[in-house]
Amino acid sequence: MSLIRATATIGSLTLLSRIAGFVRDVLQATLLGAGMAADAFLIAQRLPNLFRALFAEGAFASAFVPMFNRQVGAEGGRLDGARRFAEDVLSVLLPVLVVFTVVMVVAAGPVVWALTGGFPDASPEKFALTVDFTRLTFPYLALISLVSLLGGLLNSVGRFAVNAAAPILLNLVLIAGLLWSGGGDEVRAGRVQALCVTLGGAAQLVWLMWSCRRAGISLKLRWPQLTPQVRTLMRLILPAALGAGAVQVNLLISTALAARFLGEGAVSWLYYADRLNQLPLGIIGIGVGTALLPTMSRLIGAQDAPAAIAQQNRAIELVLLLTLPAAAGLALLSVPIINVLFEHGQFTAADTAATAAALSAFALGLPAYVLIKVLTPGFHARGDTATPVRVALGAMLVNLVANLILVWPLGHVGIAVGTAISAWSNAGVLAWLLLRRGQFALDARARRTLPRFVLATAAMLGALWLAQPLLAGSSTALLARGLALALLLVTGGLAYLAAARALGLFTLAGLKAQLKRKR
């Protein structure tokens, strides 16, 4: 299928997952608010999510998938050798995951202290609660790592939908846990959420195993052997993992600084703001990046570098067409968005103001986050996983320095600004290196369309600026606030589409042709 069609498949399912995730976040904000239990759960959840991004999504999306696809291409499309390679990887991966998970569960206390410094208020109850929640969430890492391996297999044979749908199960399990825990006891609700993280990982693994069997891909567990291909993968895993997980590492740094130096609620404000900022990243950036990597690997393997560069140009156009208005809208409408979605129950108006300020800052870096997802396959498809990790490590240093400088005058908003600065430095260096190597260049079409995206976004912002005072009312009713926000979003969307169409950025006939085109 075409890049747009594959992206639409992944993005639509990711959108369903994000919608389910927002239902979960709304329930979580209502029941937990932004207090002690919420901070403890969010820190406990951040740890396995970090390692998931590093060793699961990072390793298998960036190192395993290209190797698997090259093996398939070398065998003329047959899966025999590639399946054996996957079995060898599974046999080595599984015992490593089990041992690592056990060690982290046992050492949860020192790990949480290293991350939080015991919290600035030195609350023993909050620290103990975070350790308890971490022990409940950490087995999720082993489960989701196996999910990522099986998902990589399915993506490699063009079954993008199955893997993209898996996170929906996690969100449904978490929603069920929140509904079951009820209100009135924040600690109990937080503990149920922590347990449901691991239960959701188990549900995802069962779904992927069943889907692989239906696709005719069944892996046998062998005695662990470090075959030449497995050794090659191991050499690629660390740089690929760190490169792909740079955003998560930066968020962990942000969480650690908020937990160490800022008061109660800062971790939660940053989390809820980041969750909204991650919505376009998940739908657009991850969708395009997932569809782009196998395609570029095959084109480069076929010695068709110009076609690979052209695909990357089209991917950049696609992500900026969608991301620039999303970033601008999140920044301008942060207060009404947070107000409608989260200001219920334990989540107060003060929490709304603090979260909205962080969201506006995070949104400044949203285009960069998405561009990283599109530029990184340009290295990985050529077997270069070392360069993105060096760039990512430099961006992490920028993030740390910027956060330390900005956290004192700006508080939690300074952390969000520092994260955005880090993302832009990462994306800028990746683009510069590809350009210098002659492995990427903006073609005539991209040079013509990219400035028009900025003009269309400016037109949208102008329409929102004019409409916002007209739709802003003093009503406290949720329905009225929701309708006003919906009208603002529709106004902005229509203004952007009209401007984009007037500037010649798309035609309906062209979009239909892309959606119907087969590979």
* DSSP secondary structure, 305-356, as one string: HHHHHHHHHHHHHHHHHHHHHHHHHHHHTHHHHHHHHH-STT--HHHHHHHH
pLDDT at 458: 92
pLDDT at 120: 65
Tokens 């901070």 map to which residue? 39
Q: Give me the long-range contacts of 209-218 (CB less than 8 A, separation at least 24).
A: 209/150, 211/150, 211/154, 211/159, 211/162, 212/150, 212/153, 212/154, 215/154, 215/157, 215/159, 215/162, 217/79, 217/83, 217/153, 217/154, 217/157
Mean residue pLDDT of the chain comes to: 78
Q: Is there a contact between 304 and 459 (Cβ–Cβ < 8 Å)?
A: no
pLDDT at 421: 93
d(CA 104, CA 77): 40
pLDDT at 510: 57
Any domain includes 515: no
pLDDT at 475: 55
The answer to whether residue 364 scores a pLDDT higher than 80 is yes
11 vs 89, higher pLDDT = 89
The answer to whether residue 201 scores a pLDDT higher than 80 is yes
Any domain includes 471: no
Angle at Cα 69 formed by Cα 66 and Cα 71, nearest 5°? Answer: 110
d(CA 269, CA 249): 18
d(CA 77, CA 506): 35
Mean pLDDT for 259-281 is 81
pLDDT digits (tens, 9 = 90+) for 14-67: 677 778 887 888 888 877 777 778 888 888 887 777 766 665 555 565 677 777
Angle at Cα 194 formed by Cα 192 and Cα 200, nearest 5°? Answer: 95
467 band by pLDDT with thresholds 50, 70 and 90: confident
Any domain includes 476: no
Q: Which residues contact 412 (CB under 8 A, 6 or more apart)?
A: 258, 262, 266, 269, 270, 354, 357, 358
Any domain includes 146: yes
d(CA 185, CA 176): 16
Mean pLDDT for 296-325 is 74
In the chain, the percentage of residues whose pLDDT exceeds 70 is 77
**Count of domains in the chain?**
1
7 band by pLDDT with thresholds 50, 70 and 90: low
What domain range includes position 38?
A: 3-441
- Supply the pTM of this predicted model: 0.69
**Taking the chain, what is the end-to-end CA distance rounded to the nearest angstrom?**
5
470 band by pLDDT with thresholds 50, 70 and 90: low
Q: What amino acid is encoded at 465 in this protein?
A: W
Any domain includes 332: yes
d(CA 40, CA 26): 17
515 band by pLDDT with thresholds 50, 70 and 90: very low
- Considering only 112-126, 308-322, 342-356, 413-427, which range has the smallest mean pLDDT? 112-126
519 band by pLDDT with thresholds 50, 70 and 90: very low
Mean pLDDT for 277-283 is 72
